Structure formats: C-alpha cells, structure tokens
Amino acid sequence: MKALQFVESIPRYLITKAAGAIYRPAFWGPLAMLRYREVPEPTLPGPHWVKVKTRYGGICGSDVRTVLLQDSPTLSVFTSFPFTLGHENVGVIAEVGPAVKGLKEGDRVVVEPLLPCATRGIGEPCEFCRRGEFALCQNFAAGQLAPGLGIGYCTTTGGSWGPYFVAHQSQVLAVPEHVSDENAIMIDA
C-alpha cells in the first residue's frame, strides 16, 4: 500500500529547512522529509486491536507544522520513524482482534489518537492514566508499541494518511448513522 510518511534523515532535514526558507514548496518536494511511498500494511499488535480502513484523514495544525519542520519530531522521544502521518480520522473497521468487544468489521468509527498505558499493554497504568489524564501519560515511549505520542507518530500503528491504520479498542468510537463522514472527521476524538 502507499502512504504519506515522514522519514528520518538529518541531511534531508537540513536541506529542506534551508531550501524551505526561500522556496516553500521544498517542504513537499523531492528532497523533503514527507514521502509518498510503498509501506507495509499495519498488523494488529495484540488481541484488543482493530484495523481501520481510512475514509478520511484530516490535516491538523500539528501535521502542517511537522511537514513545514516547525515542530521537530526528530528530537522527540515520543516519535518513531518512519511514521505515517494522520491522527484525525474517520474509517471503517476492516479487521477485529479476537479479544475485542462491542466492535465489528464494517463499523464506521473515529479513533482517539493518543497511545497511553492501556494501548501499550502496560499492566499497571501510570498515575496520569489512572486519573484519566491520558495526554500526560508517562509511558509514550514504553510498552509493546514503538515510541509515539499517538497514531500518526508511531511506526506500529500507521496513520490516516495511509489506507489503513490500527487502533486499540479503548480508542475507538462508533460514528452514529446520522453523522456524515465530513462531520465525523471534525470530531478529532
């Protein structure tokens, strides 16, 4: 499958950053960090996971800042490379892990992108996850997944700028029938 991926390359970063300062299209040109390329389809990392076929992948301000090299994921311990961008999403469940409850193939869903303790298979959640403050999780670089703050910044999960990505059942929300895909993408679960 083909997807838009952000690759790790210090030479590309330096060239794109310098060229982009005088010629903005350098950020998505042939030497850019953003590449449209063949990638493996993500597989379910565990029994409580689903595979989602992307219908819409949104473009968030953080995506734009990543492409324009205004945020520096290369310096972050909360990113794994290469990663398929896209954390705002709407899709249809294409595969269900054997332990998933309440979700089935064909369900239209949006996915909360954060990858806190529960998604990483960490048995004893950190103090923030215990309080439901998942954005402050202390384990974004630990557990059974590659480092990544969320879907779209983690090599294990893929992202919605590709045809498929995977999500833990705790992240998945069914979209009511009366809500269109165009409106559902705005949920940013």
Residues with Cβ within 8 Å of 19's Cβ and at least 6 positions away in sequence, in order, are 26, 29, 31
Taking only the tens place, the pLDDT of each residue in 54-75 is: 999 999 998 999 999 997 655 5
Whether 1 is in a domain gets the answer: no
Amino acid symbol at 78: F
Q: Is residue 124 part of a domain?
A: yes
Say if 99 falls within a structural domain: yes
Strand, coil or helix: 61? helix
Whether residue 37 lies inside any domain: the answer is: no
Q: Is the pTM of this model over 0.75?
A: yes
Residue 5 in any domain: the answer is no
User: CB neighbours of 103 closer than 8 A, spacing ≥ 6?
Assistant: 50, 93, 96, 109, 169, 172, 174
> Per-residue pLDDT averaged across 29-49, rounded?
96
Q: What is the pLDDT of residue 141?
A: 93
How many whole angstroms separate alpha carbon 140 and alpha carbon 71? Answer: 18
Please check whether residue 113 lies inside any domain of the structure: yes
> Which pLDDT score, from 0 to 100, does residue 76 have?
73
Number of domains into which the chain is organized: 1
What is the structure's pLDDT at 75? 53
The one-letter code for the residue type at 169 is: Q
pLDDT at 181: 97
C-beta of residue 162 within 8 angstroms of C-beta of residue 86: yes
Flag whether 20 is in a domain.
Answer: no
Average pLDDT value for residue range 140-156: 95
Distance spanning both ends of the chain, measured CA to CA: 26
Instruction: Give the structural domain span for 140.
Output: 42-187
pLDDT at residue number 110: 98
- For residue 72, what pLDDT is reported? 62
- The enclosing domain of 91 has a CATH number of 3.90.180.10
> pLDDT by residue (tens digit) across 72-106?
655 577 889 999 999 999 999 999 999 999 999 99
What pLDDT is recorded for position 78?
A: 82
In a domain, 119, yes or no: yes
